[in-house]
Amino acid sequence: EETPGPPGSPGSPGSASSDALAPEEGAAEGAPDVAAPSQLTPRESARGTLPVIRMVDDFRRAAFKSYASVAQLVAATTLTLMLAAVLLGGHGGSSFDPLSTTRPGDSLETAKLGALWCFVLMVPGTYERALLTEQYGHRIGIFACDGYRVFSNESFPLLVHDGGRELHTSPIGGGLRGQLGGQ
């Protein structure tokens, strides 16, 4: 008995029928089991050979459906940032001066290599402060990037860096709360 493969692979739930990629009856022995790449549309080819593309495509559609899909977006982004933390070795930096005018890419050190600069918008008085503190402790999320900044609608100390300096949020002009009751 076969077990289904990853989402989007032939025979898995939600994929195109596995018969669509089966060899035709009477096909010569040794003939390819699937249509030649030129006979497949790019979408069909991606579904058969790169199931990740299908998952990304499905995620993109879900992200635009409704506000409720924000939870899916956060989960996927968190996973992506956690993978980046592993790949980057869990190291990142920041300017701890809330009034700093340093922009991403200004540093010669980060200009030498490809650099990833990350930011997050934080609403004061929510769970985000605890989440960011925990992420900082593990050097994941935005703290795995080469440079990062925490923006909020007011400036306040967010956490204390290992060296004793405080990480302050950078104020933005305007509120971060939804004006239409969260819609």
62-78 average pLDDT score: 51
What pTM, to 2 d.p., does this model score? Answer: 0.38
What confidence tens digit (pLDDT) does each residue in 126-146 have? 888 889 889 988 989 988 988
**What is the distance between the alpha carbons of residues 49 and 115, in angstroms, rounded to a whole number?**
31
DSSP H or E segment with residue 117 = strand 117-121
What confidence tens digit (pLDDT) does each residue in 93-111 have? 444 444 444 444 455 554 5
